[in-house]
Amino acid sequence: MKKVPFVTNEQLKSILEKYPTPFHLYDEKGIRENAKAMYDAFSWNKGFREYFAVKAEPNPFVIEIMQKEGCGFDCSSLTELMLAKAMGGRGDDIMFSSNDTPAEDFKLADELGAIINLDDITHIDFLEKTLGHLPKKICCRYNPGGVFRMSNGIMDNPGDAKYGMTTPQIFEAYKILKAKGVEEFGIHAFLASNTVTNEYYPMLAKQLFELAVKLKEETGAHITFINLSGGVGIPYRPDQEPNDIHLIGAGVKKVYEKVLVPAGMDDISIFTELGRFMTGPYGGLVTKTIHEKHTHKEYIGVDACAVNLMRPAMYGAYHHITVMGKEDAPCDHVYDVTGSLCENNDKFAVDRALPKIDMGDILFIHDTGAHGFAMGYNYNGRLKSAEILLKEDGTAKLIRRAETPKDYFATFDCFPIYDKIFE
* pLDDT tens track, the chain, 423 positions: 789 999 999 999 999 999 999 999 999 999 999 999 999 999 999 999 999 999 999 999 999 999 999 999 999 999 999 999 999 999 999 999 999 999 999 999 999 999 999 999 999 999 999 999 999 999 999 999 888 777 666 667 777 878 999 999 999 999 999 999 999 999 999 988 899 999 999 999 999 999 999 999 999 999 999 999 999 999 999 999 999 999 999 999 999 999 999 999 999 999 999 999 999 999 999 999 999 999 999 999 999 999 999 999 999 999 999 999 999 999 999 999 999 999 999 999 999 999 999 999 999 999 999 999 999 999 999 999 999 999 999 999 999 999 999 999 999 999 998 888 887
Cα 30 to the center of its chain, rounded Å = 16
Is there a catalytic annotation at residue 342? yes
Query: Which tens digits make up the pLDDT trace of 1-51?
Result: 789 999 999 999 999 999 999 999 999 999 999 999 999 999 999 999 999
CA separation for the pair 299, 89 (Å, rounded):
47
Distances (CA, A) of 31 to 6, 26, 36, 285, 361: 11, 8, 9, 16, 27
Domains annotated for the chain, with CATH where assigned, are 28-278 (3.20.20.10), 281-412 (2.40.37.10)
Phi, psi of 388 (to 5 degrees): -130, 140
Residue 102's closest CA among 82, 133, 126?
126
Per-residue pLDDT tens digits for 169-182? 999 999 999 999 99
Which position among 71, 75, 305, 342 bears the catalytic label?
A: 342
